[in-house]
Amino acid sequence: MFFAARQPILHADQTLFAYELLFREGLENVFPDIDAEQATSRMVEGLQSTLDLPRLTQDKPAFINFTHDSLLNGYPMMLSQDQIVVEILETARPTRRLLDSVKELKERGYQIALDDYEHDSVWAHFFPYIDIIKVDVMVTDEDTIRQIIHDIRLFPQIKLLAEKVETHDQFQRMISLGFSYFQGYFFSRPEVMQSKRLDHSSMALTNLVVQLSKNSVAVDDVLKVFEGDANLSFKLLRYVNSPLFRRRNEIQTIRQAIVVLGEQELKRFVYLLFSASVGESKPAELSNMSLVRARFGELLMSARAMDSQAESAFLVGLLSTLDAMLNTSMEELLQSLALVDDMKNALLHGTGIMGESLQLVQALEQANWTKVMNMEQRLGLADELAKKLYLESLEWAAERQKASAAV
């Protein structure tokens, strides 16, 4: 069995740039008690034989740690140069042989990063071949950062990546210093800056989501909503005519679009709009996370022969990031949504079958394999089923976001 965790790396505008893949030997979400050389070897082997790398990273680059010896042995060349960024671990020694290996990787088209960089003039020999320098902002003082910036000024291809960004102030400070990429808990646990309520338009869309989740769709009622909003109608037509559905003839009327989409796909479209609209000022990764959680809940209910709960589990997953998107407590937000108590309890307390689904997908996001295994056993799921459903959910969310890009 192979385990790997992933952590997003973002641009300054908080759009997704890449993921760092972190080796995990077993069920604990911590680096295992093995040497780094073995961890690198097993990561490369696992990515080759077990995991579909582009699927795992949604076709974004994967930052992977390589030790001194693994670089000399050419391990990075076992993975495609257009899929990975080679991270030279901080324990690597800047020897002539290492420099030769780095040159060869560069000639073969690999991107190369210095991980947890500790500034030393000897690394200047490597700068012509380096694309990214990762700086741990928790342990590197600002004077050192400024020195690094000064010393790489002759190498404009080098971008700086701030690691372990944990606060909004750190993030803004690193932007002002010229960092291009960012990684840390701040992005996975967005800091509450100020309360933001749903505006009138978002509230209408939110309540439409809730209504669609409870009742069979009445075409005439839904039609009135779309016909009352030209922008919404335009988006619906763009969506239904997207390549995702491979229709021979274009759909030209709102009623046609509603009927042809069908109840399930119409709901998904509204859910997608909802996720995008309330999270437009937040990282796209947060919106994507809500879609992944939603699809996972739906698939899990089906796997447990609870199809009647699939739609509700979908909506619970979709709403689960609403507090982070709006910088407001979930308790406050749920006061304005007409959800049944089971759904509210799932969102607030993680209870009930929908709450269990949410807990399981959150454990998968965090690579908390102990919790994943325990929940699989408690829910009577086959080994590895949760990971399989999670990968399917990642793929589904990526397809939906691609279809909505033109909307």
pLDDT by residue for the chain (407 residues), tens only, comes to 445 677 889 998 888 899 888 765 543 333 334 456 666 666 676 665 545 677 677 788 989 989 898 899 888 888 889 889 999 998 899 999 999 999 999 999 999 999 999 998 899 999 999 999 999 998 999 999 999 999 999 999 999 999 988 877 888 999 999 999 999 876 654 332 233 444 545 655 665 666 676 556 677 777 776 766 666 677 777 777 776 666 667 677 788 888 888 887 887 777 767 666 655 555 667 777 888 998 999 999 989 888 888 878 887 888 888 777 665 678 877 776 667 788 889 999 999 999 999 999 988 887 788 888 899 998 989 888 999 999 999 888 887 766 555 45
> For residue 193, is it within any domain?
no
Residues 252 and 390 in one domain: yes
Among 153, 188, 223, the domain-final residue is: 188
> For residue 132, is it within any domain?
yes
CB atoms within 10 A of CB 94: 17
> For residue 30, is it within any domain?
yes
Residues 184 and 221 in one domain: no
**Structural domain for 387, as ranges:** 200-404
> For residue 195, is it within any domain?
no
φ/ψ of residue 105, rounded to 5? -60, -40
Note the pLDDT of residue 310: 85
pTM above 0.75, yes or no: no
What is the token pair recorded at 391?
A: 């990968």
φ/ψ of residue 22, rounded to 5? -120, 125
Among 160, 188, 216, the domain-final residue is: 188
Q: Where are the alpha helices (DSSP H) in 279-351?
A: 284-303, 310-319, 322-326, 330-334, 341-349
- E strands within 130-262? 132-136, 159-163, 181-182
Residues 286 and 317 in one domain: yes
Q: What angle do CA 135, 136, 140 make, to 5 degrees?
A: 90
CATH of the domain at 12: 3.20.20.450
Among 124, 153, 188, the domain-final residue is: 188
Note the pLDDT of residue 157: 96
Residues 170 and 289 in one domain: no
Note the pLDDT of residue 284: 65
Residues 111 and 235 in one domain: no
Note the pLDDT of residue 334: 78
Note the pLDDT of residue 115: 93
Contact 211, 267 (CB under 8 A): no
Residues 247 and 304 in one domain: yes
Number of domains the chain contains: 2
Residue 162 identity (one-letter amino acid): A
